[in-house]
Structure 1
Amino acid sequence: MIPRQYEPLSQSTKAHFFKIPFGKFAVAIVSLPFFSFIFCVVWSVLYFFDRSTATHCGVVNYLPSISAAIGNYQPQRFIWQCAILLQALPRLLVAQQYLRHNSSRIRRNRRALAYLAFVLNLIENIALVGLSLWNSSDFYEIHKFCFIVFIATSECYMLISYILNRHSRKILDVLSTVERKSLYYKRTFLFVNIIGFWFAGYFFMRHNSYCEAGVYTLFALMEYIVVLTNMAFHMTAYWDFSDKIIVCDRINGFDMITANQYSRLK
């Protein structure tokens, strides 16, 4: 898939032109769930400690699970939901750009992986919205389904995205210094995410089986690591599109172009 040619702006449309460097855009989008997540956990510990850290068997616990922190109390639920809804549409734009980016740079026989990564990215985003809108206390089955879908698609997306950038490039497509940096962080965040996910599962099952003091705290901590490394993995788009500018006008709508393309439009 070849990126579309950006049509030049006429004199009459320049007043409606909007632009932002992708780096600032990426930071803003990831900051929404990141800071809302930090707020929800801290606020739950400070003001809802006993309720948010309660376990079914009454053992000592020091941290709330993510579901308790973001979905069971106000204002945490409202703040988290607003952050997730605000970042949902921009993430779709980034997913589309990754599809174009990957389709133009990977080998033809690996193009199907690029489309699979795009679909997984979309489903992950939709599942995140779902588990944020339907909390575990009032809509347990819906929340559980969305959580499982989110975890499955996010893990698969991160793995395929790394494979595409590490092993599927065209023979003559040499990684730049910035792209190598992005690939290094992708590998690091993917590895930590997988380890955190499996430890979270282990501590969750151990807590349910033995009800040992502090084990649910370790489960919650591993949950935090999984969520934060997922955010960090998506943040590597900062380096993947470091030379890009997001633009919007009446002719082309939203698009992402290079700085050189933008200079020719002015």
Structure 2
Amino acid sequence: MASKVDHKQVPWPAVEPSIFLPLKWLSLASTLLPAAGIYFCISYTFTFGKEAISNLTLSSCPDVKSGLPPISYSIGSWEPQKLIWLLVLFTHFPPRIFLTMLYPQVWAPGAGRVWLATCCTMEGISLVLITVFDVDSIAGFHVHAAFFASWAFGSVACMIVTIHLMRLTGLKDRSALFHRTFIIKCLLLASFILAVAIASTLYPISQRLCLSWAYSIFCIFEYSLVGINAAFWAVNLHEFSTVYVGFKITSVRHDEIREKKLSSGSPSITSIEA
């Protein structure tokens, strides 16, 4: 029989607290989950919201049917899609914060890493603000559109800086894998920019000229932006998976900081370790 533990003799803390975050979980939650959530909401709208789609008209042309529902209505106006998307967003955002903090650190210190961290932050925060300030919010459509534009800009900037760093450091030539992922990233960047350009052109044209077909094509390219963005980040994390299994959040004691101050004179606190 095991001896009874005397809890009064157990030190506190009993163990050093730490959490291990598997890379697979981070990959699913931070990249694929939001794309899957948006496409699920769109599919749900097509399947169970046919009446809502049939009554949807262009905002500047009340007599012209839209043909296809934009993402903004599928995740921000209609229920239960809105509730589903909020659940997805709440699940996605914490691992996205970790990804935003971790990914830039793999690159050498410098302006490129600072720009990458800034762009990743803009992209992640803009996605939240798009949801908070939806098309039916008191802020109005223009605020919603501005945050969508900032999300698109942040996404493009992240892609450009990442590709530039791969070229600058020569990473793209270090193995066949990185050479392939470099080409894939370039193709995804070109596709994303093309989709943004077409969507940005067709939306005002559809509203000004009351063209239902132009609005439908705009919606299709808007749908594609979500998938391209998710694919780009999936490639990034696939590269991560060749080196890392996951990441660990560990505790840092006060006495450790004091020892570092005494030994080096300049403390360096890192709470997230690879």
TM-score range, shorter chain: 0.7 to 0.9
**What is the percent sequence identity of the aligned residues?**
21
Specify whether residues 88 and 254 from structure 1 end up closer, same or farther in structure 2 by C-alpha distance, changes over 3 A only: farther
Superposed CA offset, 1:70-112 (max 9, x none)? 10111111221222232222122222222211126xxxxxx21
1:203 counterpart = 2:165: no
Once residues 79 and 203 of structure 1 are traced to their aligned partners in structure 2, the CA distance between those partners, rounded to angstroms, is 29
Aligned length: 238
Mapped contact 1:162–1:186 kept (Cα < 8 A): yes
Once residues 187 and 210 of structure 2 are traced to their aligned partners in structure 1, the CA distance between those partners, rounded to angstroms, is 32
- Tell me the equivalent position of 2:123: 124
Q: Which runs of 5 or more residues in structure 1 are unaligned?
A: 1-11, 105-110, 258-266
1:62 counterpart = 2:67: yes
> What does residue range 148-163 of structure 1 map to in structure 2 within 5 Å?
148-163=149-164
- Secondary structure at 2:58 match in 1: coil
Specify whether residues 131 and 74 from structure 1 end up closer, same or farther in structure 2 by C-alpha distance, changes over 3 A only: same
Q: Which runs of 5 or more residues in structure 2 are unaligned?
A: 1-13, 253-268
**Aligned-pair CA distance for 1:192:** 0.8
- Tell me the equivalent position of 1:147: 148
Once residues 154 and 42 of structure 2 are traced to their aligned partners in structure 1, the CA distance between those partners, rounded to angstroms, is 24
Once residues 199 and 86 of structure 1 are traced to their aligned partners in structure 2, the CA distance between those partners, rounded to angstroms, is 31
- Secondary structure at 1:214 match in 2: helix
Question: Structure 2 counterpart of 1:145, which letter?
Answer: A
**Aligned-pair CA distance for 1:65:** 0.6
> What does residue range 81-120 of structure 1 map to in structure 2 within 5 Å?
81-103=86-108, 111-120=110-119
Once residues 32 and 217 of structure 1 are traced to their aligned partners in structure 2, the CA distance between those partners, rounded to angstroms, is 25
- Tell me the equivalent position of 1:263: none
Specify whether residues 83 and 95 from structure 1 end up closer, same or farther in structure 2 by C-alpha distance, changes over 3 A only: same
**Aligned-pair CA distance for 1:24:** 4.2
Question: Structure 1 counterpart of 2:183, which letter?
Answer: Y
Once residues 43 and 115 of structure 2 are traced to their aligned partners in structure 1, the CA distance between those partners, rounded to angstroms, is 37
Once residues 143 and 247 of structure 1 are traced to their aligned partners in structure 2, the CA distance between those partners, rounded to angstroms, is 36
Once residues 32 and 48 of structure 1 are traced to their aligned partners in structure 2, the CA distance between those partners, rounded to angstroms, is 22
- Tell me the equivalent position of 2:8: none
User: Which of 252, 255, 263 in structure 1 is aligned with 2:272?
Assistant: 255
- Secondary structure at 1:228 match in 2: helix
- Tell me the equivalent position of 1:169: 169
Question: Structure 1 counterpart of 2:43, which letter?
Answer: V
Normalised by the size of structure 2, how large is the TM-score?
Answer: 0.77
Mapped contact 2:120–2:155 kept (Cα < 8 A): yes
Mapped contact 1:179–1:239 kept (Cα < 8 A): no
- Tell me the equivalent position of 2:7: none
Normalised by the size of structure 1, how large is the TM-score?
Answer: 0.79
Once residues 183 and 250 of structure 2 are traced to their aligned partners in structure 1, the CA distance between those partners, rounded to angstroms, is 35
Once residues 180 and 19 of structure 2 are traced to their aligned partners in structure 1, the CA distance between those partners, rounded to angstroms, is 29
- Aligned-pair Cα RMSD in Å: 2.5
